Amino acid sequence: MITESLCIAAISHLRQRLLDDMAVRRFSQGTQRNYLRDVGRFAMFLGRLGVTN
């Protein structure tokens, strides 16, 4: 079972990895903000967080 703190840490790691990847690809700040927003919306649509067992 994944605890809430472990889940938050995993999400923070994935979020930072996404930000790092977008920075390497020279995405603008606006594009990065939009990607993060849309990933969050997609997770809400799926009804779960991005962490799987």
For residue 3, pLDDT over 90 is answered with: no
Q: Is 23 exposed, middle or buried (0-12, 13-18, 19+ CB in 10 A)?
A: exposed
What local confidence, expressed as pLDDT, does residue 13 receive? 86
Give me the amino acid identity at 50.
G
What local confidence, expressed as pLDDT, does residue 46 receive? 84
Letter string b/e over residues 29-43, b meaning 16 or more CB atoms within 10 A of that residue's CB: eeebeeeeeeeeeee
pTM above 0.85, yes or no: no
Using an 8 Å Cβ cutoff, are 7 and 51 in contact? Answer: yes
Alpha-carbon distance 39 to 31, whole Å?
Answer: 12
Q: What's the pLDDT tens digit per position in 4-53?
A: 666 666 678 888 999 999 999 999 999 999 999 999 898 888 886 555 55
